[in-house]
A and B are shown apart, each in its own frame.
Chain A
Amino acid sequence: MSSSTPILVANRLSKTYHMGRVTVPVLREASIEVERGEWVAVVGLSGSGKSTLLHLLGGLDRPDRQPGRTAPNQRGGTIHFESTCVTDLGAAGLNRYRAHSVGFVFQFYHLLPELTVLENAMLPAMTGRTPLAWLNADASRAKAKRLLDRFGLGHRLKHRPNELSGGERQRTAIARALVNGPKVLLADEPTGNLDAKTGGEILEVIRELHGEGLTILMVTHDSSIASMADRVVRIADGRIVAE
């Protein structure tokens, strides 16, 4: 089920970590194209760079910069989201990209303990420029409520994250990722911290979202979970290979 216009294109991404004098090359010219509406699973050994890839694609981190070299293929790679070059965005552009273009789901949920379920889910809608966010407060609140209702959390809106089960927390996190209506969902081992049954429920949610046309890039190291996706890619030696 491939379409002709890829929504997310990563071209020859390199990412190297420096630990003192030791350099750890994690990604070496890794490339990937994700079609609109596609569900791609990323597998690989622990430490192979799956999270690193997702962070780069989500605009949380930048690929290597090599001083003096300006040609794209020599810089540490490029990422394009639709027609935007993410790797060329400034700080403000990156913030907008994180808030509106992609939604992130983490293995450990990463909810804010002081906020209620509803407030957590509304968070990305509130981070934008203040006046607009105020104007849209009611709209984003309604959106967050709708999402939480849909994920079976309608009766938990006023609860704190520590009063929820792992599955409920992850569903709240998914609602948060979707509240600004992003076109791509980036999920880093979303079931990694859950038992099989609860993990299954989360995958069911993801499958539904996929059915509605959302583009999904999901990291997992479980091949049975990966098999639910349209396509599986593997990271090995810093490169992405088809499975």
Chain B
Amino acid sequence: MYQILLVIRFLTTRIMPIIAVLAVALCVTLVIVVVSVMTGFLDMLRDSGKRLVGDVIVHMPVVGFPYYRELIADIEALDEAEAATPVIENYGLLQMPYGPGGAGTTEQVQVWAIEPESLAKVLDYHRLIYWKAPTESEAAVLAQDDPRLDPGYDRWPAAMAMQRGGSEKPGAILGIEISPFNHRERDGSYRTHDHSRSAQDRAHWMPQYEVRLTVVPNSSTGAADKEVRAQLDIVNEFQTGVFQIDSHRIFIPLGFGQELFGMDEAPRYSLNEVGPDGSPKRIGSVPSRVTTILVKGAPGVSPEDLRNAVKAAFLRFESLKADDPEAARMPRGVEILTWEERMRDLIGPVEKERGLMQILFSLVYIVCAGLVLAIFWSIVHEKTRDIGVLRSVGASRSGILAIFLAYGLSVGVVGSVVGFGLASLIIHYINEIHTAIGQPAPLLLWASVFVLCGGAVIGAILSILRDSALFTLLWSVIAIILAGVAVLLMLHKGVLIWDPSVYYFSRIPNHVDMTNALSTMGFAVLFSVIGAAVPAARAADTDPVRSLRYE
């Protein structure tokens, strides 16, 4: 009982415990902010990963597999699956409509041949497409000079048809980071102009140009053929938010892609029979192929359950085709993966990075415990006589131990609550803070710091006149610090720590990771108590007589 009273009084009437509380609070803030941002980043990455491939993918690189329409019908008939869409994934070289001397720069790209209607059932195709008219609510938050506000930039119908109206050529949709003329603004939107030109200058807007795509087709056995070229209209651009995809992927129509890569339906000839005209006899046809099927799960079905169901369906389908002498062979080694397994190489490193951060920042707890230990050591030292007094009026050793343990506990609890509050505030405003750091300091700010510095100089001069060495020193130090801050602010031209090309996303995640925050607070409390334990034990061991003789 007296312990509670003393802890409250110790906490509220001394400066040392406030320093201890601040130390704990800062440690807690640091860990919560860093890990929350990392976790938010990971969540965003996973979210967009899922947005990109649906829930489960059936995948056979390069050669692909036939009878995909039947397989899709089988998959869609599953209770676990909602929709599925065929895709060809391959690589190509893209000759851009710009470059030195009009020759056109060549980019290496990943080509996705898609079918927009069915793709739109598996993932949010509309959301991916960049050049479309914004809805009213979207329009309200767009910047004044955003080109999408101009109906002339709406190319949604062309993205759906994958063809420019009135053109014979197939359409291509480019990742928005492929063209270097697409400038990303701070709000994550794009401008298609040289910074030297006006905002509405359409000279570098991609969906009015053509590109040339060069690919190397392969036969059903996987052998490479002679390369083929095709001219395509750019009909739109897309944005996934993942920089590596936005800078390397293009969409083309599925049917055209099959022709291009030699995966379309082709006649099959006999090896020993000869037809009426003397050439090998035609005995049927090789069915068209795709490399990939993207599957979306029914609501509430986990990707793992969906994957297992699709796997079972695929095996049934495969054995059915193996029994059919007329059917073409299904290739071996078709992979069926959840989106998470498929995106492993993208998500894995970030997860590892977060783990590393968590371990590194665990050191902060030890620093925290060390600080509490040092501060409590001096508090116990200062309180030696009072401990003797308490012992002389009947307080037990365990009672004294309890005081300082409870004291450490309170410092830990108060510190972590304050730290949590501070961290929530910082995380909530992290984008604003980042933007502010990214801009030159306003004139008013650094000018007023200079004025304050002048005030401190006057204070120092007055202190000299009054013969006060302490205040002269204090004012001089304050003046020097303020001068330094003012000069730094004046020279500060703005830095962007969150480089979108490194971190994929344009906004820093601003949600507190509650599990992490709670465990951080728990550890801070624990380590505060551990830090307080040694001085507390020393306090309990204090010889009452010796400490009472202190004066």
Inter-chain contacts of B391 with A (CB < 8 A):
60, 98
Inter-chain contacts of B9 with A (CB < 8 A):
114-115
- Inter-chain contact B396/A92, CB cutoff 8 Å: yes
- Number of B residues contacting the other chain (C-beta, 8 Å)? 26
For the residues of A in contact with B, the DSSP-based class is helix
Digitize B529-551: 1 where CB-to-A-CB distance is under 8 Å, 0 elsewhere: 00000000000000011001101
Rounded to whole angstroms, the CA-CA distance of A123 and B394 in the bound complex is 9
- Number of A residues contacting the other chain (C-beta, 8 Å)? 33
Is B392 an interface residue, CB under 8 A from the partner? yes
Are A124 and B393 also in contact (CB < 8 A) when A114-B10, A133-B1 are?
Answer: yes
Rounded to whole angstroms, the CA-CA distance of A114 and B12 in the bound complex is 9
Is B497 an interface residue, CB under 8 A from the partner? no
Kindly name the residue among B10, B14, B386, B549 whose own CB sees the greatest number of chain A CB atoms within 10 A: B386
Chain B residue at minimal CB-CB distance from A180: B394
Inter-chain contacts of A110 with B (CB < 8 A):
385, 388-389, 392, 548
- Inter-chain contact B544/A60, CB cutoff 8 Å: yes
- Inter-chain contact A112/B389, CB cutoff 8 Å: yes
- Inter-chain contact A55/B5, CB cutoff 8 Å: no
Rounded to whole angstroms, the CA-CA distance of A104 and B396 in the bound complex is 16
Inter-chain contacts of A100 with B (CB < 8 A):
394
- Inter-chain contact B5/A119, CB cutoff 8 Å: yes
Rounded to whole angstroms, the CA-CA distance of A134 and B548 in the bound complex is 28
Number of A-B contacts (CB under 8 A): 72
Is B209 an interface residue, CB under 8 A from the partner? no
Is A61 an interface residue, CB under 8 A from the partner? yes
Chain B residue at minimal CB-CB distance from A62: B545
Chain A residue at minimal CB-CB distance from B395: A127
Digitize B10-53: 1 where CB-to-A-CB distance is under 8 Å, 0 elsewhere: 10011000000000000000000000000000000000000000
Q: How far is the CB of B39 from chain A (nearest CB, A)?
A: 42
Inter-chain contacts of A98 with B (CB < 8 A):
391-394
Chain A residue at minimal CB-CB distance from B10: A114
- Inter-chain contact A96/B5, CB cutoff 8 Å: no
Is B69 an interface residue, CB under 8 A from the partner? no
- Inter-chain contact A123/B545, CB cutoff 8 Å: no
Digitize A113-154: 1 where CB-to-B-CB distance is under 8 Å, 0 elsewhere: 111000100011011101001100100000000000000000
B394 contacts which of A51, A96, A106, A115 (Cβ < 8 Å)?
A: A96
Chain B residue at minimal CB-CB distance from A101: B394
Rounded to whole angstroms, the CA-CA distance of A176 and B390 in the bound complex is 11
- Inter-chain contact A99/B394, CB cutoff 8 Å: yes
Inter-chain contacts of A51 with B (CB < 8 A):
549
- Inter-chain contact B10/A127, CB cutoff 8 Å: no
Which 9 pairs, one residue from A and one from B, show the smallest C-beta to C-beta distance?
Answer: A99-B394, A126-B2, A114-B9, A124-B393, A127-B394, A127-B395, A98-B394, A61-B545, A110-B389
